[in-house]
Structure 1
């Protein structure tokens, strides 16, 4: 049967329901390539199964349903950590946890369902499905503030293939992943099994070999400056408890004053419970503990009745020398879309301590960190948006990530967040220093390697020489803007060829 052709209605009806079950299982299997599992071969097998199931679905509506069910299985497993924030105050918010997972997984799967429908409707074949899925992932990264978490290409984070992100970015990495999985599967389904194996092995060898070639190039010597990353390990249930606040504060101060003194000390997101304008005494105490080193820490601040989730740089005298306000806020966490509607239901943002939620800052900007140069601050999930990192007004000397991953639980969420931070370093050719409240705090070089880390759920600090940056990568220069037209051209070619075969 030609690719894109419709099977007989009776045969399709008999096999459609089992096909949906297989799609759900295949989607969950594909998610096992995400951290902390890292089973990237299962991602390839899962998407290969999607290619075969989709090609036999028949009508575009059924093809869309197969792709949606696959996405449902994928996102439900990959993003199951989304229930964790609702159990911080289980008595108040626990009832919302299953709804949050269902709506998030089902909503994100709509992007893949739409891709399946479009590719089937235009009879674009497997190449068209790859292009349509990549376009849907590009849309997912931008629409409704974006949520590019658990992308197919993330399965290769931590392998040599990750290095291709320096040239083609995260969406190019997703294109490579889907093509590697689905195009050989299409050949296999057409009876060309030997060709499928040759194509798959050859493509994987090229991707792996290209990554190894980049990793073999020498890195520049690290800078002479030492950065200390502080991890207090404050569980979210205790973080704002008046009885525990002094414990976590004293812990961070003791880590800050430990000898030998670094050049910069970094505390995580919302490390202080005070508002900036009321924190003169603790900030002076922290600067004294730092012994002349600069300090970057997360803190909330208010201005004209608005509240901000911020990062501040304290100079050697304890003065607030620079401030950055987080601009990419977490919907339903740090602010509520359509707040009046949710307020009537008694539902408030989970992570926003200020009434009404936080106000977004003006956008990406650099933070002057003294002799270490300029840093691009990223607060919490801002690190999952490559377009935000690439949107800085100037190229920084390094990336600085302050986060509180206690919200994400103790299993997959924190590790997926760390993995995406590593990908940002590769994309930009910049080192990344990461201070996380409960972990994983890490120093990451300009090729995404973790040089040193503090394990999840441990309190401590690490000192590391700040790595030197690499020259700007092709992706750092071009960003995502070439991706959409390239995918549209690929999709149009696939649709035209498929139509020519079946007319």
Structure 2
């Protein structure tokens, strides 16, 4: 092991860059749908050894001496994000004749940009580097801070955060409830990087012991919680929710001539009788943008919904909502969820707050429009709501809506969550075809349920449509690309909802502690050698 570590430290030039890229790429095995979290032990051990040898020229200035570490981190991040996000290019192939030119920007440009965060993480860590176990504490805090920044800088894109790889199954998700995703990221990087200490024998003892304790506590706490809170049996006396999964191809959804066929397909699955012995659903959930026209401009569509819904049933449907133009301006369009009763009346609505850049709205729209670039479907794109709006329904259920990729943002959850019966995530992942994308998206929504302590109801056009309890366990659902519906009891209102503010405070305390460890070991105050 020491010979291997020494050889990696001595690498330079393209060999160092290639190994960093491969280390990040190998870590993709820890992402869904594979979820082999142990791959990260290899990735981060290699990264530590590469950083051990990433020293700048002595005659260079202080910041310039950190550039070798930045390059290592960038190549590591480029490999990780390229392997984890290549499937985004599928969305551009839906209308290839119009958008195929942007394929390199999505497949290569986005990973290159996201790699900057990891480049700055390794650069920051190298500034705190030492010969002892404190250097993995420095790496942990640097990655955790950069993952936190990645969640909101330039509107944010925290997809596939390192901490998510440490939570492949509900057993390993429970720690996120008291700690939050960024504390989990902090601890995960420390644990993943610990095996590198074996190859250098500097501080290996205490570093490996601490990492082992952290990992054991992570798994042990999960086992304790799942034992204390067994999966609830289906309450056949409560409300029943039906999740509709129509599996409509994205090319068909883009065809205006197919609008009526798509609408009738949703109505057919809504009207289908329950399985023998099951009660009829009290509410039905359709995926994101499932209604292929403006309902408010189509009384016939609302009348058809009223024809299909039985007495007392409520439909929750993803749809585009329009606000008429005022004062000579343009109409505004929102990606929304409608609640519609059995009379065909819209009784509640919630609009999407966090829009997808270049998909639902155009950053720098005026400049890009002058270049002839306009990739959004609606004139001028979608408008964003100012805040999340709860969906209170007759009968007592109240949903906290998360439309599409809003479910990947921890800070999209505001204090209103205390009033919610469940998170409601509607999405259309058909854009990305049969790829890792839908599995990664579901995994992040599943983690959000555990992080908040609130059950999740998720309806996806092509899957994965599920009901998940507050411990992340799937109680019912449909696999990816399985057309149909599932009827299942509405989860009970959670007894304890986690505080995002408390989780953030814990992260700040843990980050400060790791910083102290990194600084003290760097100066030789604590265990410079094993």
Secondary structure in structure 2 of the residue aligned to 1:79: helix
Name whichever of 490-499 and 248-257 sits farther off.
490-499
Say whether residues 1:253 and 2:267 are aligned partners.
yes
Do the aligned partners of 1:52 and 1:186 also contact (CA within 8 Å) in 2?
no
Say whether residues 1:283 and 2:289 are aligned partners.
no
Q: Structure 1, unaligned stretches of length 5 or more?
A: 1-6
1:195: Cα distance to partner?
Answer: 6.3
CA distance in 2, matches of 1:97, 1:447: 38
- 1:4 alignment partner in structure 2: none
Secondary structure in structure 2 of the residue aligned to 1:163: coil
Do the aligned partners of 1:428 and 1:476 also contact (CA within 8 Å) in 2?
yes
CA distance in 1, matches of 2:350, 2:162: 32
1:196: Cα distance to partner?
Answer: 6.1
- 2:60 alignment partner in structure 1: none
1:95: Cα distance to partner?
Answer: 1.7
- 2:63 alignment partner in structure 1: none
- 1:209 alignment partner in structure 2: 220
- 1:244 alignment partner in structure 2: 258
RMSD over aligned Cα atoms: 2.3
1:16: Cα distance to partner?
Answer: 4.4
CA distance in 2, matches of 1:205, 1:122: 27
What do the CA deviations read for 1:206-248 (whole angstroms, capped 9, x no partner)?
2111111111123455551100001111111111313432222
- 1:3 alignment partner in structure 2: none
1:256: Cα distance to partner?
Answer: 0.8
1:489: Cα distance to partner?
Answer: 4.6
- Equivalent positions of 1:172-187 (< 5 A) are 172-187=183-198
- 1:301 alignment partner in structure 2: 321
Say whether residues 1:50 and 2:34 are aligned partners.
no
Q: What's the TM-score, normalizing by structure 1? A: 0.92
Secondary structure in structure 2 of the residue aligned to 1:262: coil
CA distance in 1, matches of 2:435, 2:470: 26
1:409: Cα distance to partner?
Answer: 2.2
Q: What's the TM-score, normalizing by structure 2? A: 0.88
Do the aligned partners of 1:167 and 1:473 also contact (CA within 8 Å) in 2?
no
Do the aligned partners of 1:397 and 1:469 also contact (CA within 8 Å) in 2?
yes
CA distance in 2, matches of 1:244, 1:370: 33
What do the CA deviations read for 1:276-319 (whole angstroms, capped 9, x no partner)?
32132212211321212101001112113111111110123221
1:21: Cα distance to partner?
Answer: 1.4
Structure 1 pair 410–194 and aligned structure 2 pair: CA distance change class (3 A): same
The counterpart of 1:270, out of the listed 289, 293, 315, is 289
Say whether residues 1:328 and 2:339 are aligned partners.
no
Secondary structure in structure 2 of the residue aligned to 1:40: coil
Structure 1 pair 246–212 and aligned structure 2 pair: CA distance change class (3 A): same
Structure 1 pair 428–12 and aligned structure 2 pair: CA distance change class (3 A): closer
CA distance in 1, matches of 2:304, 2:504: 44
- 1:435 alignment partner in structure 2: 459
1:346: Cα distance to partner?
Answer: 2.0
Name whichever of 171-180 and 354-363 sits farther off.
171-180
Do the aligned partners of 1:75 and 1:109 also contact (CA within 8 Å) in 2?
yes
The counterpart of 2:437, out of the listed 410, 413, 434, is 413
- 2:342 alignment partner in structure 1: 316
Structure 1 pair 13–185 and aligned structure 2 pair: CA distance change class (3 A): closer
Do the aligned partners of 2:259 and 2:293 also contact (CA within 8 Å) in 1?
no
Do the aligned partners of 2:390 and 2:399 also contact (CA within 8 Å) in 1?
yes
Q: Structure 2, unaligned stretches of length 5 or more?
A: 1-5, 57-65, 275-279, 326-330
Name whichever of 353-362 and 238-247 sits farther off.
238-247
Do the aligned partners of 1:444 and 1:450 also contact (CA within 8 Å) in 2?
yes
CA distance in 2, matches of 1:457, 1:365: 30
